[in-house]
Amino acid sequence: MSNSSVGWLETRGEWPTAAPNRVWLLAILIGGKTLDAVSTITVLHLRADVFESVWLTRTLMEQFGTVGGSFLTLVFAVVGVVVLAESGLLIERLFPESWTPEGYPAAFRTTTYLAAGAWYGFLGVHNFLYLV
């Protein structure tokens, strides 16, 4: 006798994962950083008494213009977060199995992407508050 209604609970030796896939995580990261970049450009355009406080962004904006510098900062930030988030796989491969918990790369990846996306989103909202 078979009960097919419980088949979806079967793990076959692996833990089911609730981690979002990389595409969704990357979309959240890019969305948060885009909000930050757009708010930076908008505030710098509308307010003369505000300046960019991050040295790299300020330098890139001086060299490539406000939009170009913000775009390059977006690219550098996204690439940096992706490298950091995916380093969980390297850690799992370099260290013995007993040193890394099961599911570590997915958990580290998810936490890193979501934390960075939320931080950049927070910065974007904070920047827009300069217009109030």
> How much is the average pLDDT of 67-77?
97
pLDDT at 74 over 80: yes
Give domain status of residue 49, yes or no. no
Question: What percent of the chain shows pLDDT beyond 70?
Answer: 86
Instruction: Give dist(CA 57, CA 47) in Å, integer.
Output: 17
Q: 20 CB contacts (<8 Å, ≥6 apart)?
A: 110
Look at residue 56 and tell me if it is in a domain: no
Domain of 25, in residue numbers:
19-44+65-128
Residue 107 counted as domain residue: yes
Question: Which segment of 25-39, 41-55, 89-103 scores lowest on mean pLDDT?
Answer: 89-103
Alpha helix ranges (H) inside the chain: 22-46, 55-94, 104-128
Residue 28 located in a structural domain: yes
pLDDT in tens, 33-55: 999 999 999 999 999 999 898 99
Work out how many domains the chain is built from and give that number: 1
pLDDT at 1 over 70: no
Burial class (CB in 10 A: 0-12, 13-18, 19+), 98: exposed
